[in-house]
Homo-oligomer: A and B are copies of this chain.
Amino acid sequence: MDRISKAAFRRLPRYHQILSAFEELGREYISSRELSEILEINETLVRKDMADLQIRGRQNQGYGISALRQRIEEFLGLQDVTEALVVGGGHLGTALATYPGFEHYGLKIAGVLDNDPSKIGSMIGPYEVVSVFRLASMIQKHQIKLIILTVPKDSAQELTDIAVNAGVRAIWNFTPRELNVPEGVRVRNEQIVGGFMALSYYLKNLSE
């Protein structure tokens, strides 16, 4: 059904963020020109993206912000609830389990797991930390399709295997490890340090 280019797909979160911000300010329309300037991309590209989303603008006014935001949400499936388990209750897991605003995107944290006996039973935000040994059973019980992986890299693959066997179909991977998964399971790697590398290159070449 819906088809947009990979490159356009990657721009959707940024469009969404800008639209939400303008909406909060009470703005109703935004032109391709404005969007293009904020994102530092070409104006025509914005219009092409809108056309791909089957969104039509208005001459002289631009695109309806609210309709456009909702269209992106619909396209990405953000209007349905996705339940996820946070696997790893360290600082990063805690940050993600309590991240403000995930609920606006349909992301609901169903629980937090950890392997440290001293953490199990303690609270992380509203969640009581559960033993990682219960990973498979929790996935099955709640029909979880997504896990958020924030464990030390040496246990990343093992836990992935358990989760996939239990029925998980997507892994949001915050560990610095490439994961091996069977066909039909999607991994999204958030290699934190990658962002720093890009900035490091820039800083190193400042003087030139």
Using CB atoms and an 8 Å cutoff, list the residues of chain A in contact with chain B. 1, 9-10, 12-14, 16-18, 21, 38-39, 75-78, 80, 82, 90-92, 94-96, 98-99, 101-102, 105-107, 145-146, 169-170, 172, 176-178, 186, 188-206, 208
With A18-B178, A91-B95 in contact, do A172 and B199 touch (Cβ < 8 Å)?
yes
Question: In the complex, what residues of B have CB within 8 A of residue A16's CB?
Answer: 197
The listed residue (B91, B96, B178) touching A94 by CB distance below 8 A is B91
| A134 CB, nearest partner CB in chain B, Å | 22
Q: Is the CB of A95 within 8 A of B101?
A: no
Q: Is the CB of B18 within 8 A of A77?
A: no
Kindly list the 5 A-B residue pairs having the minimum CB-CB distance in the complex, ordered from nearest.
Answer: A77-B204, A13-B194, A91-B95, A92-B95, A170-B199
Question: In the complex, what residues of B have CB within 8 A of residue A18's CB?
Answer: 178
Name the CB-closest residue of B to A171: B199
The listed residue (B172, B191, B199) touching A14 by CB distance below 8 A is B191
Question: In the complex, what residues of B have CB within 8 A of residue A94's CB?
Answer: 91, 95
Q: In the bound complex, how far is the Cα of B107 from the Cα of A91, in angstroms? A: 18
| A45 CB, nearest partner CB in chain B, Å | 15
Q: In the bound complex, how far is the Cα of B72 from the Cα of A204, in angstroms? A: 13
| A127 CB, nearest partner CB in chain B, Å | 13
Instruction: Supply 16 further A-B pairs (C-beta < 8 A) apart from A1-B208, A77-B203, A90-B95.
Output: A13-B194, A17-B191, A17-B193, A38-B178, A76-B200, A80-B204, A82-B200, A101-B193, A102-B196, A105-B193, A105-B196, A107-B193, A107-B196, A145-B203, A186-B199, A186-B202
